[in-house]
Amino acid sequence: MKAYHLLIHGDVQGVGYRSWIVREAEKLHIVGWVKNCEEDIVEAVVQGEEEQVKQIVERCKKGPEVAWVENVEVTEKPIDKDLFVFEVIY
């Protein structure tokens, strides 16, 4: 199991990025959360089997077709045993 904290920079708000990452996480059986942060930043925590987590991190670097991702900051974090789904936090 691996867990990462992501800060996704770019034109990533108002383009469906959060909904997109929820769908991608569900396909990969990843748990965690995503939320809009300050302007032009989406924050997420992704957790699951190492290969699937690596896949979601790579997908986040591209994002949905209408987004423009400038940079993704990735920091490893401890496993959170209280995460069971992937959700949008408002």
Q: What is the pLDDT of residues 19-54, one digit of tens each?
A: 999 999 999 999 999 999 988 999 999 999 999 999
Q: Model-level pTM greater than 0.85? A: yes
What are the structural domains, with CATH classification, of the chain? 2-88 (3.30.70.100)
CA proximity to 56, closest of 83, 81, 12, 20: 20
18 catalytic? Reply is: yes
Retrieve residue 28's tokens.
Answer: 């990969």
The one catalytic residue in 18, 23, 59, 71 is 18
Retrieve residue 79's tokens.
Answer: 């496993």
Strand runs labelled E in the chain: 2-11, 31-36, 41-48, 68-76, 86-88
Q: How far apart are the first and last CA of the chain?
A: 26
pLDDT at 39: 86
23 catalytic? Reply is: no
